[in-house]
Amino acid sequence: MVADDLTGGMETAAMLIALGIDCGFVTDPELVVDMGETPALVIAQKTRVVAADEAVTKMEKAARALLALGTRQIFFKYCATFDSTDKGNIGPVSDMLMDLTGADYTAFCPGSPSLLRTVYNGHLFLGTQLVSESPKRNDPLTPMTDPDLVRVLQRQTQLKVGLLAHSAIRAGLERLREQVASQAADGARYFITDTICGEDLDALAALTSDWKLMTGNATLVQHYPRVWKAKGLIPAADKRRPLPSVGGPGAVLSGSCAERTLEQLAEFERSRPVLRMDLLSVDGANSAVRAALDWALPKLESGPVAIATSASPDAVKLAQDRYGREGAAQLAERILGGIAVALRDAGVRRFVVAGGESSGSIVGHLGIRKLRVGSYGGPGIGTAVTEDEEPVALCLKSGKLGPVDLFMTMLEAMLHPENPYDRA
């Protein structure tokens, strides 16, 4: 799998691990050279909102590294809300992967019915709302203002985009294959897939398990192992390994501006201090890092702290007006990345990070390229430990997901042996 952010990539690996399948996780394609015996591999890189040509270059390097190992299928993992813009990056990356793998066609399955992310007649819903009517329409980086995913993807590619409607998906495997063949004969190379229940994901896994390329969000991946085992493609033995406990101080770093993250910060603040950093008030990234460290170090003696650049939509707009959309995001990421390094150097060994882009930036600043991932602990949550002499425990979470008390729960869980991460 090639994933366009670290939280989603780690969640995907965790899902396979929870099903007893050994799955490697790296952020650097060069590290997969010695992992050819692992049945599943995830290369997660921060490519969701970078320039399209940069995303394509990074993803191509990752895919080539996997294909060099004899990989039978590439899975391109992106967000359940199809996070992208008219310039990409889902379309351009998929175009490259089609050429690289030689696939005749592929499908796009962002749906996650268990999380109420569903697709019907090609339209993406969050709960009962079209995505264009949900809070996702105000996303500071990838606002979703068009719910028709056929139109959204068609604006990103010159290849013809079709639709595998719900009636076709529920008609049985042979009829579904006929529908793919019929649309492909008319020139369709891409298919948006309707998904409104778990049985739809079972059908799509059966349909695509032998395709050279498949794309979607993490939830679909859970439906492949049963097919793989039935075909004798993977060992039947359970390969789950519990994560070790990690001590030392703990910290929450948050760059997500999602409503759920703001709620989680408020809950954390009921018991522990939170530093909210206003991008309009900071005097550069280096100064902000020093100020945050001066604030945090005395407080860490009594327990975890949280530091956030998270803000309300109005505050985000003001920052974007001053720095530009990309400039504001980059400033926040430099600040949080610098704070993470400073805290690690000061002895912090337990981190909870909120936000996919923030997670990618912080892991990159910390120089982490390979992680031992824990078993799946819930939607949007990935847990892992570095395999260093002084291990660092990480919980990387999607901004939009997780229980309201997640921050303190995960920091405390890292202290305990066996695999406490599953409890969250």
Q: Which three-class secondary structure state does DSSP give residue 294? A: helix
b/e map 18-53, b = 16+ CB within 10 Å: bbbbbbbbbbebebbeebeeeebbbbbbbbbbbebe
pLDDT at 419: 47
**Architecture of domain 2-230 in CATH?**
3-Layer(aba) Sandwich (3.40)
Q: Is the dihedral of CA 331, 273, 381, 138 positive or negative?
A: negative
CA atoms lying within 13 Å on the CB side of residue 422: 13
Reading the block at residue 292, the tokens are 């945050």
Q: In this predicted structure, what is the pLDDT of residue 418? A: 52
CATH topology of domain 250-423: Molybdenum Cofactor Biosythetic Enzyme; Chain A (3.40.980)
- CA-based max dimension of the chain: 67
CB 61 within 8 A of CB 96: no
Where exactly does CATH 3.40.980.20 map onto the chain? 250-423
CA distance 380 to 272: 23
Determine the Cα–Cα distance for residues 254 and 268; give it in Å rounded to an integer. 12
Domain with CATH 3.40.50.10840 in the chain: 2-230
Q: Is residue 164 within 8 Å of 107, Cβ to Cβ?
A: yes
> CA–CA separation, 206 vs 360, rounded Å?
32
Provide the 10 A C-beta neighbour count for residue 165. 18
Pull the structure tokens for residue 378: 């819930």
What is this structure's pTM?
Answer: 0.84
- The pairing of beta strand 117-120 with beta strand 123-126: antiparallel
What is the full per-residue pLDDT of the chain (424 aa) written as tens digits? Answer: 999 998 889 899 999 998 989 899 999 999 998 777 889 999 999 899 899 999 999 999 999 999 999 999 999 999 999 999 999 999 999 999 999 999 999 999 999 998 899 999 999 999 999 999 998 888 878 889 999 999 999 999 999 999 999 999 999 999 999 999 999 999 999 999 999 999 999 999 999 999 999 999 999 999 999 999 999 888 766 666 778 899 999 999 999 988 899 999 999 999 999 999 999 888 889 999 999 999 999 999 999 999 999 888 888 889 888 989 888 889 999 999 999 999 999 999 999 999 888 888 999 999 999 999 998 877 878 889 998 888 999 999 888 888 999 999 999 989 885 544 444 4
